[in-house]
Amino acid sequence: MFSLLGAGAGGILLVRILLISSSREYRFGIDMPIEAAVLVVWGASVIVLMNPPRSVLARQATERPPRGQVWSLGRRFRIWNLLSAPVAGLLLVVLLAPLGEAVNLQGLTPGTPSAFLVVPFTAAALVVAVFVARIGWWGVELREDMLVARGFLRSRRFLRDDIEAVWPGRVSGLGGWLLGVLMNNQGDYFALKVQRRGERAKTLYASHSSHRDVLYAAQIVKCWVGSSAATPPPQSMAKDL
């Protein structure tokens, strides 16, 4: 909901700016400074909330179990997340505007074009809304007995006692292509790979970063799990993701 606040304020403000710049019918209103103020407060809050301390390393030397993010998003990703929510809000407006116009003109009676547009446009808007709402959650968190990987669309949880091996690897295939589209850079992406006992290895896309960062994160997770995950996986498993 916090990310949706930024998406709403930013999206409405961007729409108002576009309307004023494209037509003389629209003029500056008192709502624009309010939206800008909300957006500034939201942006400052995001910078504070998404600047996690290195709690994992700080607590490894103590007897308390480590808890915190495996690796922060870094300045580049914090800036990207800060800018993406208002743009995603604009995208929501763009997706919903044709549907609202069609409903106003034709209603939702069966057989009209607006009736057929409801499902795809609503589905697209929901996907974007979920994507935006989870921006602030992006990353991997270590709890006392659980590893939580929060992606843009879903979260996955791994009990510490169930983890058999953890290692870094290159993301390839469809996952690599989607990350390239998302980041607008078709380069090499790396992420953690976690294998639970008796199951196939899972790629934690929420942990993707540079090779150095992922190696660092893998070491932290191995220390958190213990000696059971400290050994590297077999050669047959240590391939690109």
Q: Which structural domains are found in the chain, ordered by start?
A: 2-56+73-135 (no CATH), 138-229 (2.30.29)
Q: Is the full-model pTM beyond 0.75? A: no
Q: Is 199 exposed, middle or buried (0-12, 13-18, 19+ CB in 10 A)?
A: exposed
Encode pLDDT of 181-210 as tens digits.
666 666 677 888 888 888 888 888 877 777
Q: Using one digit for the tens of pLDDT, what is the confidence trace for 88-142?
A: 777 777 766 666 666 665 555 555 555 666 777 777 777 777 776 676 667 787 7
Average pLDDT over residues 55-82: 51
Helix axes 2-22, 31-49, angle to 10 degrees: 140
What's the Cα-to-Cα distance from 209 to each of 73, 114, 182, 195, 220, rounded to whole Å? 8, 42, 13, 19, 15
| Greater model confidence, 96 or 65 | 96
Indicate the angle between helix axes 74-106 and 113-133, nearest 10 degrees.
160
195 phi, psi to nearest 5 deg: -120, 125
Longest dimension (CA), the chain: 68
Backbone φ and ψ for 231, nearest 5 degrees, come out as -85, 145
Residue 59: the pLDDT is 43
User: Which of 223, 220, 193, 228 lies closest to 207, judged by CA?
Assistant: 193
Answer yes or no: is pLDDT of 29 > 70. yes
Tell me: pLDDT of 72 over 60: no
